[in-house]
Amino acid sequence: MRICIIGFGSVGQGVARVFHMKRNRIKKDYDLDLQIVAVADSEGAVISEDGINPALLLETKQNTGRVSDYPDYGFSGVTGVDLLDTIDYDCLVEVTPTNICDGEPARSHMLKTMNTGRNVVTSNKGPLALGFTELRDTAQINKVMFKYEASVGGAMPIINFAHETLSGCEIKSIYGILNGTTNYILSRMAKEGSSYNQTLNEAKEMGIAETDPTQDVEGEDAACKVVILANSIMNMNVAYDDVIVKGISQITPESIQLAKKEGYLIKLIGEVSQDSLEVSPRLVSEGSPFAVEGTLNVATLKTDLADDVTVVGKGAGSIETASAILSDLISISKSMKNI
């Protein structure tokens, strides 16, 4: 499988690292040869039909900050769109940064790939939260595969889990902690009795919260995931603006202690049901699966037959998110063999 990677930040580098670690094993276990034929970052690209060495690619990026400095095969100034026009490949791995204003340039990359009869795997929430139906329909019309497990919950599997593992069940609603940064902050506030601002600063120092933490703490990141889950698992047709969003910045240590006294914790919960699309702080009871601490993500799927089924996993991380992308690539390979 010839792979084109667009975006070479944390997730893109995780994909290269995973390919480096597991290429031989994947070949053996799944008869699948994963070959990177092109990679673009914001400065340029590297193209080689004979395959790009993931270890050398990672070294180049680390040393100069640009993939176009890859020996012999680098092209400075070449963009992702240029790549898709010129090279031959089987699957796009779209891992540019999430843009929740217009979803670009990821949206154009994905549509172009699908419209030329090729498969897409992505971790990019932006275009999925803004125009999921367009992407799904374009994939269907072109009879290509479109996989996006990594877009929600990083290494917490939920989309393929609902589609495949729980295929006998209808999903009635989804209820989850879909953002790791806010779970970390709320867990620490509960444990230490510290204030919101103090805990946020601590999280920034530890690299858990970003310098501008708005997308996380105001619930925007979780709201994107709510939209993706609603459309992909529950067959709804909704967009970002349909979600009621409330973040955690107004939560006080006093309210957390009060809840604790009664056996409850305060968590930022995303809810997806036919009646409600919402991200807001809610009470969860201490013995429930939602009592998880740290940066963990958790989601409960309410089903018609199996009652509640819950998954817990790391919501972020370079290698962890790349593992979801790898599982999607294996799934595409299995389907291609069956056609």
What is the contact mask toward its own copies in residues 228 to 267, using x (rule: CB under 8 A)?
----------------------------------------
How many secondary structure helices (H) and strands (E) does the chain include? 12, 13
322 binds its own copies (CB under 8 A): yes
Identify residues 278-307 at the interface with its own copies (CB under 8 A).
286-289, 291-294, 296, 298, 303, 305-307
What is the contact mask toward its own copies in residues 28 to 67, using x (rule: CB under 8 A)?
--x-------------------------------------
Q: Cα 123 to chain center, whole Å?
A: 4
Binder among 24, 25, 143, 261 for its own copies (CB under 8 A): 25
Residue type, 312: V
73 binds its own copies (CB under 8 A): no
311 binds its own copies (CB under 8 A): yes
22 binds its own copies (CB under 8 A): yes
Its sign, for the CA torsion 51, 55, 59, 65, is positive
Q: Which of 61, 125, 147, 225 is catalytic?
A: 225
Binder among 56, 81, 87, 169 for its own copies (CB under 8 A): 169
Terminal CA-CA length for the chain? 15
User: Least separation, in Å, of the C-beta of 191 and its own copies?
Assistant: 8
Torsion of CA 105, 14, 151, 153, to 10 degrees: -150
Task: Measure the CA–CA gap between 223 and 100, rounded to whole angstroms.
Answer: 11
Task: Measure the CA–CA gap between 210 and 105, rounded to whole angstroms.
Answer: 22
167 binds its own copies (CB under 8 A): yes
Paired with 304 in beta bridges are: none
Binder among 157, 180, 270, 281 for its own copies (CB under 8 A): 157
Binder among 3, 38, 93, 324 for its own copies (CB under 8 A): 324
| DSSP-derived pairing of the beta strands 35-40 and 44-47 | antiparallel
Whether 225 is catalytic: yes
Task: Measure the CA–CA gap between 273 and 277, rounded to whole angstroms.
Answer: 6
3 binds its own copies (CB under 8 A): no
Residue type, 92: L
| Cα 15-16-20 angle, rounded to 5 deg | 115
Contact 229, 302 (CB under 8 A): no
309 binds its own copies (CB under 8 A): yes
Residues annotated as part of the active site:
225
Task: Point out which residues bind its own copies (CB under 8 A).
Answer: 18, 21-22, 25-26, 30, 155-157, 160-161, 164-170, 187, 286-289, 291-294, 296, 298, 303, 305-314, 317, 319-320, 322-327, 329-331, 338
